[in-house]
Amino acid sequence: MELGTRKLFNRSFSLVSIAAIVLMALSLVVLLGPIFVKGSSAFVFRGTVEYRMLMLNRFGRGNQAVVEAEKASAEAARKPVLDLIRGFEGEMEQRGPEFRAKYESDFRELKGLVLELFGPSPGEPTPVLLRQQYGQTRWDRSKLKLEGILFVEEYDYSDPTRMGVKVLKPRVERFRGTSMEPLFGDLERGIEEMMRPRLTWYWRFPFDDSYDSHFFGGIWPEMLGTIYLAIGSMLFAVPLGIVTAIYLAEYSGEGHFVSLLRTCISALAGVPSIVFGLFGLAFFINTMKVSQSKSVLAGALTLAILVLPTVIRASEEAIKAVPLTYKEASMSLGASKWRTILTVILPAALPGVLTSIIISMGRAAGETAPIIFTAAVSVGKPLAIWQTLTQPTPALPWNIYNLATEHQAVDEIRHVQYGMVLTLVVLVLLLNLTAIIIRARISKKLRA
């Protein structure tokens, strides 16, 4: 090959490999971008007067006088629309069966939609489900509901060679010539007055209890459950892990037992997470019966075995990285081996060990498969510490799966799903960031 070609090849190779890194960074952006953007809408959004009423009634937040005045003026703005509806109901009674047959189903649909948008009007009985006791609490959903009221989604099936095409027809056409006609214009013009959207910062989202299957409120039960599981698994894994790491680094030679141990540790690291879940169910719950039903304890134990290899490996590296001079100096002063380890080597290795603990905690917080069968439920109250020994808990990873697939009203709570994912991602990334910072400090110290 000619020199020119070789140089060209060299340059294009560099370009291609840099493109690989860029691609990885891009995939990170593509992955986290929608999550951050849509997840932040759980924290920062335009909330309506209904939201402020909910906060006042359920959480006791907000100035009562101000909020109630707002609600009163919103209701005053809604009155014409609701009067039209009530008037039409009376009209249908009067005009007889023919008129009724023509308009009844359309009217009922419209009334249902308006009820969804505004919530129950002052005279009506309170519905039993919390989600129906309030109108739309978010402005973006209010606008969607308004669209649903103003337009009917119909499908045009005229073309037999393809699936129907969505066509939006103005709903006012169905009520042309009746007293309901001006309702649509009134609604469209006055929606801001009726809902009173205002920029809201719901920073308490990770710390509020959830109401009515995550329709309202925050994700505190899941947060607490994840915290319990992460810390619980560390309580079991760290002592075992550090002891094993000490043994591997300090006490052992290169004998058969040690190589067996190392093989087992890396084998344990390679076991699929669902197998850990099955093992946790079969061993901890069914055989050892650490708890009668699923519980945080069983989940923490299962997660502990999952992260054990990581803790061992990273701790061993941290202990090995402590300069030999420390150990020699200590032993030359007459300290026994055990004393040296406890008082000299471990404290010196502490930042590295801490890093491994933090990273493993992040891993334990994010794992789903081990807790499906051992600790996770869809709905539950936040547990007190002593309840963790016997009771299961919701947890962020499991509830993300649950809300994204199983929930009855997936579209209504999209912002909660994204908010949960964002919270989990931020939690894990914060933990990792802390570990990275600690590690940077160690390398600086050890290099100097």
Considering only residues 176 to 235 of the shown chain, the ones binding another protein according to CB under 8 A are 211-213
Helix 296-321 and helix 220-246, axial crossing angle in degrees, nearest 10: 40
Tokens of 408: 């009855």
Nearer to another protein by C-beta: 101 or 264?
A: 264
Nearer to another protein by C-beta: 117 or 421?
A: 421
* Residue 113: CB minimum distance to another protein, A: 10
Binders of another protein among residues 90 to 129 (CB under 8 A) are 127-129
Residue 290 interacting with another protein (CB under 8 A):
no
Residue 342 interacting with another protein (CB under 8 A):
no
- The answer to whether residues 334 and 383 touch, using CB atoms and an 8 Å cutoff, is no
Beta-carbon contacts of 298 under 8 Å, excluding residues fewer than 6 positions away, are 280, 284, 285, 290, 291, 374, 375
Binders of another protein among residues 389 to 448 (CB under 8 A) are 389-393, 397-398, 400-402, 404-411, 417, 421, 424-425, 428-429, 431-432, 436
Nearer to another protein by C-beta: 142 or 391?
A: 391
Place of tokens 């609600």: 71
Q: Which one-letter DSSP state was computed for residue 323?
A: -
Beta-carbon count within 10 A of 288 CB: 11
Amino acid identity, residue 58?
R
* Residue 119: CB minimum distance to another protein, A: 14
Binders of another protein among residues 41 to 80 (CB under 8 A) are none
Which stretch in 48-56, 86-94, 149-157, 349-357 sits in contact with another protein by CB under 8 A?
149-157
Which stretch in 49-57, 70-78, 173-181, 381-389 sits in contact with another protein by CB under 8 A?
381-389
* Bridge partners, 152 (sequence order): 169
* Residue 87: CB minimum distance to another protein, A: 27
Q: Which one-letter DSSP state was computed for residue 42?
A: G
Which stretch in 40-48, 84-92, 178-186, 256-264 sits in contact with another protein by CB under 8 A?
256-264
Beta-carbon count within 10 A of 447 CB: 6
Beta-carbon count within 10 A of 5 CB: 9
Beta-carbon contacts of 140 under 8 Å, excluding residues fewer than 6 positions away, are 41, 45, 46
* Residue 287: CB minimum distance to another protein, A: 8
What is the per-residue DSSP string for 77-135? HHHHHHHHHHHHHHHHHHH-HHHHHHHHHHHHHHHHHHHHHH-S-TTSPPPSSHHHHS-
The closest of 385, 436, 38 to 227, measured between CA atoms, is 385
Residue 380 interacting with another protein (CB under 8 A):
yes
Which of 96, 97, 287, 447 binds another protein (CB under 8 A)? It is 287
* Residue 400: CB minimum distance to another protein, A: 5
Which stretch in 72-80, 96-104, 279-287, 322-330 sits in contact with another protein by CB under 8 A?
279-287
Which of 53, 365, 416, 442 binds another protein (CB under 8 A)? It is 365
* Residue 322: CB minimum distance to another protein, A: 18
Q: How many CA atoms lie within 13 A of 46 on its CB side?
A: 10
Which of 292, 325, 332, 447 binds another protein (CB under 8 A)? It is 292
Residue 368 interacting with another protein (CB under 8 A):
yes
Residue 297 interacting with another protein (CB under 8 A):
no
d(CA 295, CA 288): 13
Residue 338 interacting with another protein (CB under 8 A):
yes
Report angle CA 388, 394, 400 to the nearest 5 degrees: 150
Which of 65, 163, 199, 448 binds another protein (CB under 8 A)? It is 163
d(CA 308, CA 113): 54
* Residue 312: CB minimum distance to another protein, A: 7
Residue 286 interacting with another protein (CB under 8 A):
yes
